[in-house]
């Protein structure tokens, strides 16, 4: 089976890669069928030189792109579709990540609940204050007496009895 993959070239600490077509069972440093492009990730502006027609030719013949190469081709616009995951996560690590995500979700839910409770208490406090204002009885207004003078409310009650 043929595969499109990267072959590392360049100096120590300054990698650059060739995009090659080779047999999957062969070492990437072994002889390849064709060089399809160059990839320089360390430069300030990541440089990618691709022979798009030849890449499409090899893909039409049934060659498979490695996950990293597939992602590079998607970024360059040669291929369309979703990127592939190029790094596999072990089950043990995935379990830890899931536990961490669940703990974070629980913590966030608790903080939202606490904020909701505080807000509910604030709303209740405002409601009681408004109710107290509305239920506050206005002081009785003294009615004028036939003589023209106002009597205090206690005097009115005494007259009524």
> What CA–CA distances, in Å, run from 110 to 70, 79, 87, 117, 120?
42, 44, 34, 10, 15
The pTM of this model reads 0.55
How far is the C-alpha of 141 from the C-alpha of 46, rounded, in Å?
Answer: 87
Q: Is the distance from CB of 54 to CB of 36 less than 8 angstroms? A: yes
**Where are any strands of DSSP class E within 32-93?**
34-40, 47-50, 64-65
Element (H, E) at 6: strand 2-11
Q: What is the pLDDT of residue 19?
A: 94
Q: What is the pLDDT of residue 44?
A: 84
Going by their DSSP bridges, the two strands 2-11 and 64-65 should be labelled as parallel
Mean pLDDT by 10 residues, the chain (161 residues): 93 93 88 92 88 93 92 90 83 92 89 77 73 61 58 61 57
- For the stretch 80-98, pLDDT in tens is 888 888 778 899 999 999 9
What topology does CATH give the domain 2-76?
Answer: S16 Ribosomal Protein; Chain: A; (3.30.1320)
Q: What is the pLDDT of residue 40?
A: 92
Q: What is the pLDDT of residue 56?
A: 93
SS3 155: helix
- The domain segmentation of the chain, as residue ranges, is 2-76, 89-132
Q: What is the pLDDT of residue 124?
A: 73
């Amino acid at each position: 089976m043929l595969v499109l993959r990267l072959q590392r070239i360049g100096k120590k600490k300054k990698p650059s890669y060739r995009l090659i077509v080779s047999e999957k069972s062969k070492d990437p440093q072994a002889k390849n069928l064709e060089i399809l492009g160059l990839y320089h990730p360390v430069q300030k502006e990541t440089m990618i030189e691709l022979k798009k027609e030849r890449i499409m030719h090899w893909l039409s013949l049934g060659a498979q792109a490695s996950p990293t190469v597939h992602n590079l081709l998607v970024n360059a616009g040669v291929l369309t579709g979703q990127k592939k995951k190029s790094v596999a996560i072990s089950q043990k690590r995935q379990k830890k990540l899931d536990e961490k995500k669940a703990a974070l979700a629980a913590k966030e839910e608790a903080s939202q609940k606490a904020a909701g409770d505080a807000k509910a208490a604030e709303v209740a406090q405002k409601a009681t204050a408004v109710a107290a204002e509305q239920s506050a009885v206005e002081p009785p207004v003294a009615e004028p007496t036939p003589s023209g003078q106002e009597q205090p409310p206690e005097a009115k009650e005494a007259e009524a009895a």
